[in-house]
Structure 1
Amino acid sequence: MTPKAVIFDIGNVLINWQPEEYFDAQIGEDRRRAMFEAVDLHAMNDLVDQGHNFTEMVTQTAAKYPDWSDEIMMWHDRWIDMATPAIDHSVRLKTQLQAKGIPVFSLTNFGIETYEIAEQKYPFLRDFDRNFISGHMKVVKPNPRIYEMVEEGSGLSGAELLFADDRPENIAAAADRGWQVHHFEGPQGWADRLVSEGLLTSEEAQ
């Protein structure tokens, strides 16, 4: 069936999110590798995505690892520099879908405060028809509950929803609920999928 709404993940679908690349550029790959081995920064970020306070999580982690405190605080003070650039083709696809009256939702593992920071740089994040942000929901993908909450909030379920995410485990959990899914590996593949579903023409998907 033709989907009734399209759902975008944000990190690595609409906005590049590669913290390792950022730190490689700032402190060098060797030092970055040593830091990530010593400090589980992704676990820290997972807590932020679950709704814990961004500043508190980073400052507490920096205090716990004084040898890396300056670098850890960069995760806070220069966070927006890690979440860049926008993936412009994906942004255009979102805009084209909405221009045709097709509802577009976000479903993203994202902190409350960090999403507010991102909105300042990327105003298109304010333009979703519905936002499903893990920090506010207190649950993260791929927990089945987050997908249930999308269904409850939107009134849609199963094949009525088409969801794009860059992480296989996240789309697998959505597929388990009968959603149509797309493993995002680049905007052109996503564009082609939207065309194949009859949601956009080839010209609209450029």
Structure 2
Amino acid sequence: MTKAVIFDIGNVLIEWQPERYYDRVIGPTRRKAMFAAIDLHAMNDKVDRGAHFQDVVYAEAAANPEWAAEVRMWHDNWLDLATPAIDHSVRLLDALKSTGVPVFALTNFGKQTFEIAEPVYPFLKVFDRRYVSGHMGVIKPESRIYEMVEEDCGLLPSQLLFTDDRQDNIDAASARGWQTHLFEGPAGFALRLVEEGLLTEDAAQ
């Protein structure tokens, strides 16, 4: 029996598509060249592990002077990368909360970036518990982060229903015995919540 629903945030509640931002700002050709030259997602993983956001991004910019201005955009224009909210997912979060189902967040998110996001996305304050990798010092899909969630919330793995858009994150949770749902859009997750008896069809709209 599900006792808590756990949401990833990026691409579940907030779209996270940096490539789309750069395609718009510098064009697809230059964006592809930059992402081929620099592993910007690996850079972001450092932030998600707790390193200081501006320090990491500006150090990467300094190490790649030919792309320095573009790399600094990752920090300076971050809210333009992390947008928009996925409204149906937010409604599902609110519906679960209103029916008394505990809702947790388990997210790869930096300390400073989460602070930037909170005022813009008020639903980030709705969660009963928030597991933010930047504060935990470990990221998905490493097993330890799931273990830390279990230790803190006190629920059995089988009582947790977790949705995430990345298969590797889902696989790691499944390996620990969590119930899981690969997020491919809010409509599919809404159906899963109805099937689990956690929401009515009307509440899941």
State the 1:126 CA deviation. 1.4
RMSD of aligned residue pairs (Cα, Å)? 0.5
Does 1:5 pair with 2:36? no
- Tell me the distance in 2 between the aligned counterparts of 1:131 and 1:7: 9
Alignment partner, residue 164 of structure 2? 165
State the 1:110 CA deviation. 0.4
Count of aligned pairs: 205
Runs of at least 5 residues in structure 2 that lack an aligned partner in the other structure: none
Paired-residue identity, %: 63
State the 1:63 CA deviation. 0.4
DSSP-derived class of the 2:144 partner: helix
Q: Which amino acid aligns with 2:122?
A: P
Q: How does 1:1-206 map to 2 (within 5 A)?
A: 2-206=1-205
State the 1:176 CA deviation. 0.6
DSSP-derived class of the 2:97 partner: helix
- Tell me the distance in 2 between the aligned counterparts of 1:158 and 1:62: 41
- Tell me the distance in 2 between the aligned counterparts of 1:126 and 1:115: 11
After the TM superposition, which segments of 4 or more aligned residues of structure 1 sit over 2 Å from their partners? none
Q: Which amino acid aligns with 2:25?
A: Q
Q: Which amino acid aligns with 2:89?
A: S
- Tell me the distance in 2 between the aligned counterparts of 1:156 and 1:22: 39
Q: Which amino acid aligns with 2:161?
A: L
| TM-score normalised according to structure 2 size | 0.99
State the 1:125 CA deviation. 0.5
